[in-house]
Amino acid sequence: MATTFVRISDLKSHVGETVSVRGWVMTTRSSGKIAFLTMRDGTGYLQAVFPKNELVDGAWDRFATMTQEANVLVAGTVRADARAPGGFELTATDVTVVAPSVEYPITPKDHGTAFLFEHRHLWLRSRKQVAIARVRNEIEHGISDFFYDRGFIRTDSPILTGSIGEEAGELFATEYFDLGQAYLAQTGQLYIEATAAAHGKVYCFGPTFRAEKSKTRRHLTEFWMCEPEVAFADSNENMRLQEAFVSYLVARVLERRQDELKELERDTAPLEKVIAPFARITYTDAIANLQGQGSDIQWGTDLGADDETALAKAYDKPLFVMNYPKQVKAFYMKENPDDTRTVLNNDCLAPEGYGEIIGGSQREDDYDRLLARIEAQGLNPETYKWYLDLRKYGGFVHSGFGLGLERTVAWICGIPHIREAIAFPRQIHRLYP
């Protein structure tokens, strides 16, 4: 067998050569004189053609033993063929089954979602799942490039924390030696407010945890969040950064991940429209708008997923909803001087019914007001001493936001549920595999 191993994505530089390709069997079919294999090696998909008369001894019989997802080694000559997937085809001379695959559970027939998630470790090999993971990877790199290019410093925040970041009701807690309870971080924000005073423009990007009882298509108990924090930026500038960021990520996927979007059958026309600036409405106007649409929602309640969809449908780009009532938002948001019932915050709602992908705000930079909010929410001021220090030593106007990675991936991929936007989703009823 030929000795040059080539990955499918590199076949283009080996046209006319005899090479070996290693990978997994997707499908086989045979018609007496000629047989076809489609395979994948993680870098791409390849069709190999097996003309019976041109194969080495025994290869035709070995072909017949190949089953779905067996690991195989195929030798042959690389041919350019515009009709072939990936643009190249292998005219094979030999095949070896390196490792068998007996009764692979995920067959080309339809399987229920529960079954697929129980087999998530295998389902990840499927074409759509591969495409989603590639889009996610593109977005992760986009996040890193966007902030690096703008002079932000990535400062990583702890996952085990002693200060509650968002909501006391949604915490995973664990005993922490002699120090009592530690919590899995709901956000890195409080910590990057500290690093913002060291570097001016910072972000963190990592897993965050919410013990949310919600079983919706937008909630995971473990999800990745990218959180920038900017010194001397107010809420207005914060939204400008968000729209630049979201537009950049969408454009980057459109530019570099066309094959994956095709695989996902994503209509890209709505994505092409995602260009800054985005429209802004206040929460108060949003409530009036919803009431005008026949909703009985009252001022003071948080917007639900259906409300967000109803609001966003009038726009073909993401929409900012600003200045929510204090009581539905976190303690750290700065009071709105023009309407003290509200805060200087915004959510960013994705179009096409995807809802909130970003939550952001200007931070309360006044020591006394912040302390009062902490106390009013029943949080323990002792655990926020360090956070309050940021208001004591050179307090500064600052703002930031958190973009949920899985919600962004789900929206850009056009998939209905965020659980497919992460390799191993964690939900209330799912901890395996």
If phi > 0 it is left, if psi is from -120 to 50 it is alpha, else beta; for residue 109 that is: beta
Minimum distance, C-beta of residue 407 to ligand 4AD, in the bound complex (Å): 4
* Closest to ligand 4AD by CB, 81 or 365: 365
* Closest to ligand 4AD by CB, 122 or 133: 133
With CB under 5 to 8 Å by kind, the binding choice for 402 among ligand 4AD, Mg ion, none is ligand 4AD
List, as one string, the DSSP characters of 243-286. Answer: HHHHHHHHHHHHHH-HHHHHHTT---HHHHT--S--EEEEHHHH
Cα pseudo-dihedral 190, 191, 196, 198, rounded to 10: 140
- Residue type at 243? E
* Closest to Mg ion by CB, 233 or 333: 333
Tokens (6 digits) for 426: 């964690």
Minimum distance, C-beta of residue 139 to ligand 4AD, in the bound complex (Å): 13
Q: Which SS3 state, helix, strand or coil, does residue 211 take? A: coil
Total binding residues toward Mg ion, as defined by CB under 5 A: 1
With CB under 5 to 8 Å by kind, the binding choice for 138 among ligand 4AD, Mg ion, none is none
* Closest to ligand 4AD by CB, 23 or 359: 359
Tokens (6 digits) for 422: 């992460």
Residue 165 binds Mg ion, judged by CB under 5 A: no
With CB under 5 to 8 Å by kind, the binding choice for 308 among Mg ion, ligand 4AD, none is none
With CB under 5 to 8 Å by kind, the binding choice for 398 among ligand 4AD, Mg ion, none is none
Residue 355 binds Mg ion, judged by CB under 5 A: no
CB 33 within 8 A of CB 88: no
* Closest to ligand 4AD by CB, 132 or 220: 220
With CB under 5 to 8 Å by kind, the binding choice for 197 among Mg ion, ligand 4AD, none is none
Task: Look up tokens 């655990």; give the residue.
Answer: 383
Burial 183-207 (b: 16+ CB within 10 A, else e): bbbbbbbbbbbbbbbebbbbbbbbb
- Which residue of 359, 360, 400, 425 would you call a contact of Mg ion, by CB under 5 A? 359
Q: Which of residues 63-92 bind Mg ion (CB under 5 A)?
A: none
With CB under 5 to 8 Å by kind, the binding choice for 187 among Mg ion, ligand 4AD, none is ligand 4AD
Residues that bind ligand 4AD (CB under 6 A): 166, 187, 189, 210, 212, 219-220, 223, 225, 227, 356-361, 400-402, 404, 406-407
* Closest to ligand 4AD by CB, 207 or 395: 207
Residues 6+ away with beta carbon under 8 Å from 91: 48, 49, 51, 54, 76, 77, 79
- Helices 127-149, 235-256: crossing angle, 10 deg rounding: 130
* Closest to ligand 4AD by CB, 89 or 166: 166
Task: Return d(Cα 161, Cα 126) in angstroms, integer.
Answer: 37
Note the residues at the interface with Mg ion (CB under 5 A): 359
